[in-house]
A and B are shown apart, each in its own frame.
Chain A
Amino acid sequence: MLRIEIDATKCMGSGNCSFWASGTFDLGDDGVAFVKDPAGDPEDKVILAGQGCPTQAIAIWRDDERIV
């Protein structure tokens, strides 16, 4: 199981994460991304979304290991 954190001060609301993993990420009305369901997509999609974040606002851990 992945643990996902979004740094709201870094997020600029590109919507890139919800493009790659729309079951997991969404944009709030404030334009900041949030996790709506940490298990909403296959893990590889969630990792791609994290790696693709233009401002590196997404951190992902598997168990205790940070993978993004």
Chain B
Amino acid sequence: MTQVTRAHADWDPMAQFVADPNDVRDPHAELARRRRELPVAIRPAGARIDGFEVYRYDDCASVLRDNETFSSESIRVSMADFMGKYPLVGMDEPVHRRLRSLVAQAFRQKTLAHFEDDLVVPVVDEMIDGFAARGQAELVREMTYRYPVQVIAVILGLPKDDYEQFHRWASAIISVAGRPMEGMQAAAELRAYLERVLEDRRANPHDDLITELATVELDGERLDDEEIFSFLQLLLPAGAETTYRATGNLLFGLLSNPAQLDALRADRSLLVAAVEEAIRWEPPLLITSRVAVRDAEVAGTAIPAGAQVIPNIGSANRDETRWDHAEEFDLFRESKPVISFGVGPHMCLGMHLARMEMRAAVNRLLDRCPNLRFDADAVERDDVHIHGETFRSPTMLPVLFDAA
């Protein structure tokens, strides 16, 4: 933690965060080799998740679309201890569709339009207030890490006094793989807290997501309490960690390519393309998993029933049969769908929210921090880079700009 940051926050939100312990700097060269030579491979012994890894875009998309052959149930089982009984990400049909339809209403682009101005931009602005006068900042600690958790707290309608506690739970929950006991304890505390909030909202409805989940109705169906808690608990790992990392990767891509950043500064309509390119180039989460419920075949490789199948999204997104100069960040490339949010029935429910958060963060930074650029000396001194094997994001984002 830098001296400067300490003056602005007496609590370090990242202190509890357990990053991916493997400082894998560049998995992409090896992924490119596998895409060419062995499109499906059994993951090496010792890999955290065992199974058949899939590297090419079309093969990954086929696996994710075919949810009858490739089940998500294993995700539910692995998350059940800390994510409640019904995490959407780990449900199969027909239950998944019913649950998803109910919660989806809160995450549509139209609903989000009001979120952006009323809820998200004020969160961004408050963070920028913390460093705008200084002319320099470290954006991972001072912005991107806290930002999506704060957005979730605001959307849920939690009282401001509870934000810091909410951040602590969030950090512990998204670090559950590294520190399971702390993660599970935080999940239990969060659950107890949310039970009190839900009870209150049933008695005193607010204009917030918890009230909406408590009252939403579709074809006479409603969510029961257990389903609501499962969804709320999933929001943190699904919506906070991924968006924090994706926002960092977007900023890293832009700051390392000043000509593209200048173009974007001058023409903000390029932001939509910049976000798509960032999540293609360095998606925050590289892999997902399914289990074959019957014998299957992927790209000529036999997959026995019961085997785990792991589409490598990070590899699929750089498939050179789909994108030219796929290894480079280029927001001017011809746009086409990427697989960063998955595809198929489980395609990320929060993708419109995530994109909007990323756009809002960059937009306000460019508005309020003129001449925003990497602090080249700090980048070199601290060896700033994007790292990670499962999750990827920058180690730091030291920037300079004209002080307000």
Q: Which residues of A contact B (CB under 8 A)?
A: 12-16, 18-20, 27, 30-31, 48, 51-52, 54-56
The answer to whether B109 has its CB under 8 Å from any CB of chain A is: yes
Smallest CB gap from B344: residue in A: A54
In Å, the complex CA distance between A16 and B348 comes to 10
B 73-102 binary contact with A (CB < 8 Å = 1; else 0):
000000000000000000000000100110
Tell me whether A54 and B65 are in contact (CB under 8 A).
yes
The count of residues in chain B whose C-beta lies closer than 8 Å to any C-beta of chain A is 22
Name the B residues within 8 Å of A19 (CB-CB).
109, 351-352, 355
Which residues between 222 and 236 of chain B lie within 8 Å of chain A, taking CB atoms?
Answer: none
Can you list 20 contacts pairing A with B, beta carbon distance less than 8 Å?
Answer: A12-B345, A13-B101, A13-B104, A14-B347, A14-B349, A14-B351, A15-B109, A15-B352, A16-B351, A18-B109, A19-B352, A19-B355, A27-B110, A31-B104, A31-B218, A51-B336, A51-B337, A52-B336, A52-B343, A55-B345
Bound Cα distance from A19 to B349, whole angstroms: 13
**Closest CB of chain A to B345's CB: distance in Å?**
6
- Whether A48 pairs with B336 at a CB distance below 8 angstroms is yes
Interface residues of B in 304-354 (CB under 8 A from A): 335-337, 342-345, 347, 349, 351-352
With A12-B345, A54-B344, A54-B345 as contacts: A20 and B337 at CB distance below 8 Å:
yes
In the assembled complex, the Cα of A31 lies from the Cα of B343 at a distance in Å of 18
Chain B residues lying within 8 Å of A52, measured Cβ to Cβ, are 336-337, 343
- Taking a contact as CB atoms under 8 Å apart, the answer to whether B101 and A31 are in contact is yes
- Most A CB atoms within 10 A — which of B97, B110, B337? B337
Chain B residues in 8 Å Cβ range of A51: 336-337
Closest to B110 in A: A27
Q: How close is A50's CB to chain B, nearest CB, in angstroms?
A: 10
> CB-nearest residue of chain A relative to B348?
A14
Q: How many angstroms from the CA of A30 to the CA of B101 in the assembled complex?
A: 9
Bound CA–CA A20/B341 (angstroms): 14
User: Residue on B with the closest CB to A10?
Assistant: B345
Q: How far is the CA of A55 from the CA of B352 in the complex (A)?
A: 17
- Judge whether B16 is part of the interface by a CB distance below 8 angstroms: no
Q: How far is the CA of A16 from the CA of B110 in the complex (A)?
A: 13
Q: How far is the CA of A54 from the CA of B337 in the complex (A)?
A: 10
Residues of B within 8 A of A (CB): 65, 97, 100-101, 104-105, 108-110, 218, 335-337, 342-345, 347, 349, 351-352, 355
- Bound together, the chains give a CA A16 to CA B352 distance in angstroms of 9
- Contacts A48-B335, A54-B65 given; indicate if A12 touches B108 (C-beta within 8 A): no
The 7 tightest CB contacts between A and B, nearest first, are A52-B337, A54-B347, A54-B343, A14-B347, A13-B104, A54-B344, A15-B109
Tell me if A12 and B101 are in contact (CB < 8 A). Answer: yes
The residue on B at minimum CB distance from A55 is B345
What is the distance, in angstroms, from B65's C-beta to the closest C-beta of chain A? 7
Q: Which of A12, A18, A30 contacts B100 (CB 8 A)?
A: A12
Q: Which residues of A contact B347 (CB under 8 A)?
A: 14, 16, 54
A27 to B105, CA, bound (A): 10
Taking A54-B343, A55-B65, A55-B345 as contacts, is the C-beta distance between A27 and B337 under 8 angstroms?
Answer: no
- Min distance, Cβ B265 to any Cβ of chain A, angstroms: 24
Contacts of A30 in B (CB 8 A): 218
CB–CB B97/A12 < 8 A:
yes
Is B104 touching A48 in the complex (CB atoms < 8 A)? no
Closest residue of chain B to A27, judged by CB?
B108
Q: How far is the CA of A51 from the CA of B355 in the complex (A)?
A: 20
**15 extra interface residue pairs, beta carbon distance < 8 Å, beyond A19-B355, A52-B337:** A12-B101, A13-B100, A13-B101, A13-B104, A14-B347, A15-B108, A15-B109, A16-B347, A27-B109, A31-B101, A31-B218, A51-B336, A54-B345, A55-B65, A55-B344
Give the docked Cα–Cα distance between A56 and B351 (Å).
18
A20, A51, A52, A54 — most chain B CB neighbours (10 Å) = A54
How distant is B222 from chain A, measured CB to nearest CB, in Å? 15
Chain B's closest residue to A51 (CB) is B337
Q: How far is the CA of A16 from the CA of B342 in the complex (A)?
A: 12
Q: How far is the CA of A15 from the CA of B218 in the complex (A)?
A: 18
Residues of B within 8 Å of A18, CB to CB, are 109
What's the least CB distance linking A61 to chain B, in Å? Answer: 20
Give Cα A42–Cα B344 distance, bound, in whole angstroms. Answer: 25
Q: Which residues of B contact A31 (CB under 8 A)?
A: 101, 104-105, 218
